[in-house]
Structure 1
Amino acid sequence: MGHFCVCSRGTARSYSETVASEADYTARIVVISPKDAAKSNGTVIVEWLNVSGGIDAPAVWFMAHREIARAGFTYVAVSVQQVGVEGGTSLVGAEMSLKAQDPQRYRELHHPGDPFAYDIFTQIGRLIREGAVDGLRPDTVLAVGESQSAAFLTTYVNAVDSSAATYDGFLVHSRFGNAAPLDDTNVLGDAGAIAAVPFRADLRVPVLTVLTETDVVGGFRVGYHAARQEDNEFLRAWEVPGTAHADNYTVRVGFIDDGSTPLDDIVAAYAPTDERMGTRLSYYLNFAPQHHYVLQAAITALNAWVRAGTPAPSAPPIALTGGNPPGIALDANGIAEGGVRTPWVDVPIARTSGLAKDESPMSFLFGSGELFDAARLCELYPEGIEAYLDQFTDALDQTIEAGFLLPADRPEILNLAAAMFPAVRC
């Protein structure tokens, strides 16, 4: 795939009653597209870059880039928030804005503040539609965003989309229950942690939201459980058991996973680790593979929903217990019940969870995991790896048939399952 970076200049309006109505901006756009135009599938994915770590982070691209490239999508990353361009508050206190990293290169960029971000995102979507960005004239334009960006997209869907009518569908990845403000209130502040905000009932276009256990339960923010609503004509919510807001794919696997990396290297990167940002934790981070693979399926499902009118599949929510925040109802293996069922939770070799202690910066977002001991593995699979793979394959095929994993990922998933099964003798 080829890529390039351009600037977009304009005047954006604010949706806030407490901020000036208009302001000039100069935003950065990064475009990644198939080198062979004939391999393009006609859809552009526009990501609202995530700035929670103080840096423009392409979170959806990072976790789903294999499918984005494989299926012929064009991908556009937009520096749409002030922190990513000018600097400001982040969860880790790092100053990694574009201007901090390279003042000379990014000197022309200017962001007037997040109340203008919504209109900036609209204007860039329209430029893409009109062919003003590298001559792109897509059939379909999808908006995507993860975590903090998902909170902003939730507000965009609820307050902006009905009049802007720019994007054909939205993938809202790993949102909590809250939404971003329209004014200049800091989304990371306490005010944004309180209120749960469902999606509006009268959605204009399809919205698919993919949620991990961390997102559903919350704690750092009010959990998505408080904003739950029934699936409808234009809404699907996929709550995925055994997953965390971030995991080993985020910190290790994604950096090497280009489709040609040897299997042994991928397996080694998925291996349980108790290290996070230089701190040794008292537990392993979540190391389950399903988050990455389900998100790839979600992108394809949303595209098919928009282009062919085939609704994305529905799934039940993750089962919860009482409490505030609530707990997660667990099966005999300590794995969440309900939700999008995958072979990693129905034919497990480990207990993985979206919940964890907060022992280093943002470590609670990375969940936890624990491999089963030999006794439990032998109890579950007394005939060893052969029995395990038979059951795993059946569960995998059921999940693919249900639409929550992609057929194209089946061989890789099976190879990964075989390679990750612990060496035990029963």
Structure 2
Amino acid sequence: MTDIHITDISPIPVTEDSRPFASAAQCCDFDRNGYIESEYYMSGTANVYETHADGTIGVRTPNAPYTNRFIVRAPRDTRSFSGNVVVEIINPSAFIDLERMWVLGHTEMIRRGDIYVGITSKPNTIAKLLEFDHDRYSSMNWANPTPNTPFGFTDEQLAAMNGRIMPDIDISYEPGLFWDMLTDLALLLRSNDAKNPLHDYHPKHIALAGWSQSAAYLIRYVNDFTYRRATDHDVFDGFIAAGPPRFLPTPVNQYEVLSTLTDLGISKIRTVRNPCIIMQTESENSSLGAHDVPRPDGDEPEFMCRHYDITGASHDTRYTLTDYYQDNPGLKRVNALFGYDGRFNKEPNNYPSQFLVAAAIRNLFRWIETGVAPEPSEPIHTNANGTNVRDAFGNSIGGLRTCLLDYPTGTYYSYSDINPKSEGMYGKGIDGLYGHEEPFPASMLIHLYGTLKHYEELCKRHTFRQVTHGFICQEDADALVRFAVSKAEERGLR
């Protein structure tokens, strides 16, 4: 196997007084579920890469030292391990470590006995980690190996690119160290090295996952890194990218944040030899550039891919951004809890995309293990300018659907009107990531469905069909129906 440039793996002790940031052990009841949560420092060296004019990459600065952290959630009993590992590129967009793929997929991972590994992906989150627990995270280091080399752009040029890059440029650190960190961690998890924290579990399959900016990272990684190193095994066996903002090509170092924002084909996956599932909500489909990126499904040896549009869902939902984190002491400590607060004047979008992501995780590993690809799904229908085509109820047509769309009790939107004094992603008055719902009046629900019992029967039949297609896990069918029926009841159907 190719050399792994990790020199040290050190456990970060978990005590009553010091726990990992955004710990899941309590909110996901690890004691009852038979899981344990561990955290580690990883130290080593990584190259910083650069993008050439033809889109290929090369080494810009070799062997820069670093210390990063990663989290492990695993079955307490090694005999309960499924053999599958999900490595998440933890999302840094809010300048804190948000484990969105864990939030969406942890129910499936826990009930199957999967191991979750989340790795910090950008140094812009270190400040909040230190604010949370300075002693716990004081060893983290992503120092820029060329701090005396100035950026080739001005603050004014960065400001002019508002909305096209993430505002986390800092000469003191270098996000470009991440690519080798990720590769080396995956190779270590496969190895018999005594430093491997999964040494006693013997993983069979390792998949890479990412949400939003981290999904954009994943796409760049697939294109330029996962097959570059000559190993006795591919770095990852499969990939799941959810909510990728296609307008955001990911540079391989922060010095090229402007120079790579040209069409080098880095916003779409060019080649993927191992199974890959890409999921996007209506936010990405309608406003974050996805309609401009070709999205073919593939079953060829050099392109094994499925694309799914999650109709009804917005990039952020009440569950993923508010409900899951509501009582998390780590986020409370750094004042980073998210709420659908007074900025918004409509009911928040709470489309249950977690059920569809759970099925996608299951389908991905089945594809990896058996070679049988999951069923395709039609995309959301769009018109010539990329706007979603909507039905008579105002919901988008096509895409990956649940009973909530085919038997609707309201209209789902991928954006929210907000207080005009509040600043949203697309300027004052609009939040393009956190959507809203507009409920139907009770009289309309009675006209459409008659009774709550009849509505429940419609939802059960629809969900049964989606289970047979593999779009919903059998274990989630009842929960999805209860979710839909509860929403109908809240809106006045009896």
Match of 2:103 in 1: 62
Are residues 1:119 and 2:187 paired? Answer: no
Q: Does 1:397 align with 2:458?
A: no
Equivalent residues of 1:161, 1:204 under 8 A apart:
no
Kindly indicate whether the alpha-carbon contact (under 8 Å) linking 1:216 and 1:225 is maintained by their aligned counterparts in 2. yes
Give 2:190's aligned residue.
Answer: 129
SS in 1 for 2:61: coil
Using the alignment, how far apart are the partners of 2:310 and 2:414 within structure 1?
10
TM-aligned CA distance change 1:283 to 1:415, over 3 Å = closer
The residue that corresponds to 1:108 in the other structure is 139
1:13 aligns with 47
Question: Secondary structure of the residue that 1:15 maps to in structure 2?
Answer: strand
Contact 1:19 1:183 in 2 (8 A): no
Output the CA distance in 1 between the equivalents of 2:395 and 2:308. Answer: 17
**Structure ID, larger Rg:** 2
Between 368-377 and 39-48, report the one with greater CA deviation. Answer: 368-377
Inter-CA distance 425–211: structure 2 relative to 1 (3 Å threshold): closer
Structure 2 residue corresponding to 1:230, chosen from 276, 296, 299? 296
- 8 A contact 2:241–2:277 mirrored in 1: yes
Over 3 Å counting, the alpha-carbon distance change for 1:185 and 1:398 in structure 2 is: farther
The answer for the alignment partner of 1:329 in structure 2 is: 389
- Range 194-203 or range 312-321, more displaced: 194-203
More strand by share: 2
TM-score (norm 2): 0.74
Deviation at 1:305?
Answer: 0.7
Report the CA distance between 1:345 and its aligned residue: 0.4
> Which ranges in structure 2 are unaligned for 5 or more consecutive residues?
1-34, 51-57, 144-173, 328-337, 426-430
State the SS of the aligned residue for 1:105.
Answer: helix
**One-letter amino acid of the structure 2 residue matched with residue 114 of structure 1:** P
**SS of aligned partner of 1:225:** helix
Contact 1:277–1:361 at 8 Å: present in 2 too?
no
Partner of 1:377: 445
Deviations 1:219-265 (A, max 9, x none): xx4x11111221002110110110100101113432479xxxxxxxx
Give the C-alpha shift of residue 104 in structure 1.
2.0
TM-fit CA distance, 1:276: 4.3
The answer on 1:339 being equivalent to 2:383 is no
Is the Cα contact below 8 Å between 2:220 and 2:267 reproduced in 1? Answer: no
Aligned pair partner of 1:173 in 215, 219, 242: 242
Normalising by structure 1, report the TM-score. Answer: 0.86
Identity %: 25
Cα pair distance change 1:52/1:230, threshold 3 Å: same
Find the counterpart in structure 2 of residue 25 from structure 1. Answer: 66
TM superposition shift of 1:18 = 8.4
Structure number with the higher helix fraction is 1
Alignment of 1:18-417 (within 5 A): 19-85=60-126, 87=127, 96=128, 98-112=129-143, 113-131=174-192, 132-135=196-199, 136-164=201-229, 165-177=234-246, 178-185=248-255, 197-218=266-287, 221=288, 223-233=289-299, 234-255=304-325, 276=339, 278-289=341-352, 291-323=353-385, 326-357=386-417, 359-361=422-424, 363-381=431-449, 383-417=450-484
**2:222 maps to amino acid:** V
Structure 1 residue runs of 5 or longer lacking an equivalent are 88-95, 258-274
CA gap of 1:192–1:69, structure 2 versus 1, over 3 A, is farther
Counterpart code for 1:125: A
Give the residue type in structure 2 aligned to 1:393.
K
Structure 2 CA distance for aligned equivalents of residues 18 and 74 of structure 1: 32
Give the Cα–Cα distance (whole angstroms) in 1 for the partners of residues 319 and 435 of structure 2.
12
Query: How far apart are the structure 1 equivalents of 2:256 and 2:438?
Result: 36
What is the distance in 2 between the residues matched to 1:215 and 1:338? Answer: 15
**3-state SS of 2:86 partner:** strand
Task: Give the corresponding residue for 1:92.
Answer: none
Q: Distance in 2 between matches of 1:368 and 1:425?
A: 20
Cα pair distance change 1:147/1:185, threshold 3 Å: farther
Separation in structure 2 between the aligned mates of residue 389 and residue 58 of structure 1, nearest angstrom:
33
Aligned residues: 392
- Offset at residue 387 of structure 1 (A): 1.9
